[in-house]
Amino acid sequence: MPTACCAWQPWCSREGKITDLVVERPQGLYCPAGDFHIDPWHPVARAVITHAHADHARSGHAHYLAASEARHLLRARLGDIDLQTIAYGERLRIGDATVSLHPAGHVLGSAQVRIERSGRVWVVAGDYKLDEDRTCAPFESIAGDVLVTESTFGLPIYRWRPAGEVFAAINAWWSGNAAAGRSSVLFCYALGKAQRILACVDASIGPIVTHGALESLNDAYRATGVTLPATLRVTAIADKTTLRAALVLAPPSAIGSPWLKRFGDYSDAFASGWMQVRGARRRRALDRGFVLSDHADWPGLSQAIEATGAARVIVTHGYVAVMVRWLRERGLQADAFETEFGDEAEEVAEPS
Amino acid sequence: MKRFSQLFIELDTSTSTNAKVDALARYFASAPPEDAAWAAYFLAGGKPRQTVGSRALREFALAGSGLPPWLFEESYQAVGDLAETIALILPPAADESDAGLAEWIVQRLLPLRGQPPAQVVERLHQYANELDTAGRFLLIKLIGGGFRVGVSRLLVTRALALHAGVDPKVVAQRLIGYTDLTARPDASSWQALVAPAGSAADAQVSHGTPYPFFLAFQLAATLDEFATVLGPVRDWHVEWKYDGIRAQLVKRDGRAWLWSRGEELISERFPEIVAAAANLPDGIVLDGEVLVWDPGAGHPAPFARLQTRITRKNVTPKLQSQHPVVFVAYDVLEVGGVDCRQQPQQVRRATLESLLADHGSQITDSELRLSPLVREPDWYALARQRAQSRACGVEGLMLKRVDARYGFGRSKETGAWWKWKIEPMTVDCVLVYAQRGHGRRASLYTDYTFAVWDRAPRDAIEAQAVRDAVAAASTGAMRDLPQLVPFAKAYSGLTDAEIRQVDATIRKTTVEQFGPVRSVVPELVFELGFEGIQRSPRHKSGIAVRFPRILRWRHDKPLHDADTLASLEVLLSASG
């Protein structure tokens, strides 16, 4: 951990000169050279936003900077904010720092923040994954001296199967249910996971129904140019037999809600990286758990960290203590930032 | 193994009983007989002796994954299951094996037993490299001997019956002994298990095997509803519900066997009961309860004393005289070598009474005795009797319809047996330690230790002072304040939503961590129920409770209102 001196007073450092391009502040991660925050959790003047999930993109900041592809999503989530967007790779001078955004592969418009000053480069990766996802630009490896990384699935038990296998399993479950005349209710996070599923399942199996909470986000994806199959609102369906062959996407908050009653005898499932562990699957008492995540798995985290060539790594959220110790044992200088990431209401992690 | 692995996934991912029975029946129909034989064995609860110890498994896991021990431990803490942890951390398999379940067990796993550790680890590497994650999980489960999936023996019985087209009762009968520790299922034992009804094997009840136990349901009706739900008292046989070991005493061909409900042969643990049975005629099977009962005592001793008899391997004369056991018979299932389970309860009861009376002269009263009937004119009078249960050392009453047949398992098909247990004793206590759960509750704090006050706090302020002193981990500040004395651990009884809430509070109010255990700031008050209470020098509080469980979360109860050691003393003196 940085000392209190460095954390609260960015102009001060133990060496007596400004070295750290990103420090911890009560409002969030802060870049002293450019006088801006990254995904701050309290209102600030200037916020660089890595992606539109609620624990990273909060309301109340005076000015927002994000990747162009995130524009529609941020508007859908935060309304009429003062938003500036730049293309991936475009360089912007902010104060003494040169800032650019690069694809993080997490969700549509997700970005890693590259900060350069006097030849030193810091990369704040935000949330990211290395697996393929046709709804967003693929993760780009950025060389840097220091990497600020997440560690949501930072345990070696988390190792994803190729996404194609998971979607084949989802398709098989859906068509099996459709043949038996029952709806397939699949719970998934409303932003990112839902659209990735929509884009990757075999839409010829049957109609796709989406919960109201997903609609504005689907629209934002479509408006950004991502092709999604046609989706129906449940209220728009006159012939109830349609529902029996349908794939129904709903956020986890809908579990146990009366909204589900209309589907009668349905099969339910949850798509999340947490489904990797049998206990987590069984605790939810759902029929199926599909292991599908928009975060890097253990090998992915290692690969991403190694690819930056960074000698220093700072871990923000997830299995922080584990990752810090693991990296230190591998000879890297590793520390943690205490953040308020990773507790987005719908992204209920199961912390250690 | 692939087919069995697929079956496991189907069973594990389904919450519907019918879907599980169907999946099992489909598997039984498609698997080669030698594989089906082993699948039935494991799913019905069979456990071969552990072939590899958990230490060797850990060694193999560390070597195979290349992880440092601390990271393996972190992973295990998050998963909560050793086999699953190992299955998840090993690198992906190189190629996949087509070997069937029987080949895996007989050719590969069983021979590992007793091999030098280095060779075991090398073999395990080779095996793990041929299996996907689910296959590895099963492999390690089978090696460890502990295998549980949401399937009961009754469910397996139903699926076997469905597959074979045979009455489930017959299958249940055939299954007895099938899962013995020494059993080695193969194609021919499988054929016998699913043979058409009326085969020679069914007619001749083999040496010593008991019948499937008939189990009672918990009665949920209120006293006022009894007359409507159950009808008049005269239609029922009422007995005390004993708190011992349910057992069948089998006497055939001049020999006697004692079987527990888990179908474990326990004759050697209770030689005095076996000796007493020597005086019974051949071809007799009694159903009853094994209890510790001091000579001349009016009621049985608490279960804890029976426990000392169960846990000791060597039954010495001293142990026998310290904790003398008896068999209290309440049913007869076979007389003169003939199965009489289809006779009505009252006929069987009459047979039992005359049987024990005829041979009473030869049977010492202390070892083999009849469970008396409790006779009262109406349900209300019975309720008053039931209220005396605790003082009589029993758990309540058993109700058996006079025309009930002796069924099997907890099935409602035949007759009706009900248990009408007494309400548990309760205290309000404070959560002081928490530990993570296992299995489906891994990664949540679900196992709690509860405490009561050593003296009642004067008021809310004094209780608050204790809370603050614990939070500050200040032993100095605790002087002169009342102390919380831990006395029981419990984990069941909360809803999943409540568990998540309690889990969050525990994480926020942790004072110290000792390995997997956290001490927390005392804040949460729960009502704890338990069946029995007695003094125990082994417990810090000097008191041990039986079957403790959380009844409810007392949001309404302030900390200083939680119960005290004195409240436990009152319960102690009230329970005989």
Asked if residue A255 and residue A230 are part of one domain, the reply reads yes
Q: Is residue A94 part of a domain?
A: yes
Looking at the complex, does the CB of residue B65 fall below 8 Å from at least one CB of chain A? Answer: yes
User: Would an 8 Å CB–CB cutoff place B47 in contact with chain A?
Assistant: no
Q: CA-CA distance, B432 to B514, in Å (whole number)?
A: 13
Give the residue among A7, A32, A303 at the shortest CA–CA distance from A147.
A303
A22 with A106, same domain: the answer is yes
Sign of CA dihedral B260, B263, B265, B269: negative
b (16+ CB within 10 A) / e for B349-358: bebbeebbee
Tokens 């220093």, located at residue: A312
Interface test with A, best of B13, B84, B500 (most A CBs within 10 A): B13
- A29 and A117: one domain? yes
> Does A346 reside within a domain?
no
Structural domains present in chain B = 217-421 (3.30.470.30), 425-574 (2.40.50.140)
Residues B132, B33: contact at Cβ < 8 Å?
no
Does B88 sit within 8 Å of A159, measured CB to CB?
yes
User: Which residues have a Cβ under 8 Å from the Cβ of B184 and sit 6 or more positions away?
Assistant: B106
Chain A partners of B13 at a C-beta cutoff of 8 Å?
A: 281, 287-289
With b for 16 or more beta-carbon neighbours within 10 A and e for fewer, the A111-127 pattern comes to bbbbbbbeeebbbbbbb
Kindly report the nearest CA distance between residue A53 and chain B, in angstroms. Answer: 22
Q: Please check whether residues A249 and A311 belong to one and the same domain.
A: no
> For position B534, what pLDDT does the model report?
84
Task: For residue range A124-177, list pLDDT tens digits in order.
Answer: 999 999 999 999 999 999 999 999 999 999 999 999 999 999 999 999 999 999
CB atoms within 10 A of CB A158: 27
B440 to A278: CB separation less than 8 angstroms, yes or no:
yes
Q: Which amino acid is at A52?
A: A
Nearest chain A CA: its distance from B143 CA (Å): 19
The CATH number assigned to the domain holding A281 equals: 3.40.50
Q: Assess if residue A305 is contained within a domain.
A: yes
DSSP code for B485: E
Instruction: Name, in order, each residue with C-beta under 8 angstroms of A330's C-beta and a sequence gap of 6 or more.
Output: none
Residue among A277, A319, A329 whose CB faces B79 most closely: A277
Does residue A344 register a pLDDT over 50?
A: no
Q: Which residue is it, tokens 């990286």?
A: A273
Enumerate chain A positions whose Cβ falls within 8 A of a Cβ in B.
155-159, 276-283, 285-289, 319, 322, 325-326, 329, 350-352
User: Which of B15, B443, B496 has the CB atom closest to A350's CB atom?
Assistant: B443
Shortest Cα distance, chain A CAs vs residue B516, angstroms:
11
Q: Which has the higher per-residue pLDDT, B19 or A218?
A: A218
Q: What is the DSSP letter of B268?
A: G
Of A233, A264, A290, which closes a domain? A290
Whether A297 shows a pLDDT value over 60: the answer reads yes
Are A98 and A60 found together in one domain? yes
Q: Give the A:B interface size as CB pairs under 8 Å.
A: 75
Q: With contacts defined as CB-CB under 8 Å, which chain A residues touch B85? A: 157
Nearest to A329 among B15, B68, B496 (CB): B68
Q: What is the pLDDT of residue B13?
A: 79
Of the candidates B514, B443, B516, B500, the one whose C-alpha atom is nearest the C-alpha of residue B78 is: B443
Domain count along chain A: 2
Residues A191 and A239 in one domain: yes
Q: Are B440 and A279 in contact (CB under 8 A)?
A: yes
Buried b (16+ CB within 10 A) or exposed e, A193-202: bbbbbbbbbe
Question: What is the reported pLDDT for B366?
Answer: 67
- Cβ-Cβ contacts under 8 Å for B487 (sequence gap 6 or more): B429, B450, B451, B452, B539, B540, B541, B543, B545, B568
Q: Which two tokens stand for residue A2?
A: 């940085």
Domain span holding position A174: 163-290
ipTM of the complex: 0.90
Domain assignment of residue A91, yes or no: yes
User: Minimal Cα distance from A270: which residue of B?
Assistant: B13
Same domain for A173 and A199, yes or no, is yes
Interface of B with A in 513-532 (CB under 8 A): none
Statement to judge: residues A218 and A270 lie in one domain = yes
Kindly report the number of other CB atoms within 10 A of residue A35's CB atom: 15
CATH code at position A58: 3.60.15.10
Of A128, A152, A106, nearest to A273 (Cα)? A152
Partner A contacted by B204 (CB < 8 A): no
Nearest to B73 by CA among A157, A282, A349: A157
Query: Euclidean distance between the first and final Cα of chain B, in Å?
Result: 55
Query: Does A12 score more than 70 pLDDT?
Result: no
Q: What is the pLDDT of residue A257?
A: 86
The verdict on B14 touching A (C-beta cutoff 8 Å) is: yes
Task: Determine the residue among B440, B444, B446, B495 to mutate to test chain A binding: the one whose Cβ has the most chain A Cβ atoms within 10 Å.
Answer: B440
Q: Which chain A residue is nearest to residue B12, measuring alpha carbons? A: A282
Burial class (CB in 10 A: 0-12, 13-18, 19+), B83: buried
Domain boundary among A290, A310, A344: A290
Whether residue A14 sits in one domain with residue A104: yes
pLDDT of res. B453: 94
> What pLDDT is attached to residue B424?
81
Interface contact B18, partner A, CB < 8 A: no
Which pairing describes strands A288-290 and A36-38: parallel, antiparallel, or unpaired? unpaired
Q: Give the mean pLDDT of chain A.
A: 90
pLDDT score, position B441: 60
C-beta atoms of B88 and A276 within 8 A: yes
- CB-based contact (8 Å) between B64 and chain A? no
How distant is the Cα of A26 from the closest Cα of chain B, in angstroms? 20
- Within this chain, do residues A23 and A107 fall inside the same structural domain, yes or no? yes
> Going by C-beta distance under 8 Å and a sequence separation of 6 or more, which residues neighbour residue B295?
B324, B366
Position B95 scores a pLDDT of 79
**From CA B318, how far away is CA B296, in angstroms rounded?**
19
Residues with Cβ < 8 Å from B76, sequence gap 6 or more? B82, B85
Res. A304 pLDDT band, cuts 50 70 90: very high
Is there a single domain that holds both residue A205 and residue A168? Answer: yes
**Can you give the pLDDT at residue B202?**
59
Say if CB B563 and CB B541 are below 8 A apart: no
**Contact between B281 and B372 (Cβ < 8 Å):** no
Q: Kindly report the length of chain B.
A: 576
Q: Does a structural domain hold residue A343?
A: no
Q: What are the Cα distances from residue B213, in Å, to B120, B262, B411?
A: 40, 9, 11
Chain B residues touching A271 at Cβ < 8 A: none
Report pLDDT for A5. 40
Note whether residue A349 is domain-resident. no
Better-predicted residue by pLDDT, A13 or A265: A265
If asked whether residues A45 and A194 sit together in one domain, one would say: no
Instruction: Please indicate whether, in this complex, the C-beta atoms of A279 and B443 are within 8 angstroms of each other.
Output: yes
Q: Contacts of residue A286 in chain B, CB cutoff 8 Å? A: 15
Q: Please, are residues A211 and A251 in contact by the beta-carbon 8 Å criterion?
A: yes
Place of tokens 């003196």: B573
A342 CA to chain B: closest CA distance, Å? 15
The pLDDT value recorded for residue A268 is 92
Work out the minimum CA distance from B16 to partner chain A, whole angstroms: 9
Paired strand residues for A312: A146, A333
Along the 576 residues of chain B, how does pLDDT read in single tens digits?
889 999 998 888 777 788 899 999 999 999 999 999 999 999 988 888 778 888 889 999 999 999 999 999 999 988 888 899 999 999 988 878 889 999 999 999 999 988 888 899 999 999 999 999 999 999 998 887 667 777 887 789 889 999 999 887 678 778 877 887 777 899 999 999 999 877 665 554 456 788 889 988 888 788 888 888 889 999 999 999 998 999 999 998 888 888 888 667 788 889 999 999 988 999 999 999 999 999 888 899 988 788 888 877 678 899 999 999 999 999 999 999 999 999 999 999 999 999 988 776 445 566 899 999 999 999 999 999 998 888 888 989 999 999 999 987 776 655 589 989 888 888 999 999 998 876 556 678 888 999 999 999 988 888 988 998 888 877 777 778 999 999 999 876 788 888 888 988 888 888 887 767 889 999 999 999 988 888 887 777 888 888 888 988 988 888 998 999 988 988 887 765
Of residues A15 and B331, more confidently modeled: B331
Mutate to test the interface with A, among B138, B443, B498 (most CBs of A within 10 A): B443
CB contact under 8 A, B75 and A159: no
Residue A321 domain-assigned (yes or no): yes
Answer whether A333's CB lies under 8 Å from A311's CB: yes
Give the up-direction half-sphere exposure of residue A174: CA atoms within 13 A in the CB hemisphere. Answer: 27
Chain B neighbors of A156, CB-CB under 8 A: 65, 67, 71, 75, 88-89
Residue range A240-247: mean pLDDT, rounded = 89
Sign of CA dihedral A142, A148, A154, A158: negative
Domain end marker among A290, A309, A327: A290
Give the closest of B71, B77, B496 to A352, CB-based: B77
Q: A351 lies in a domain?
A: no
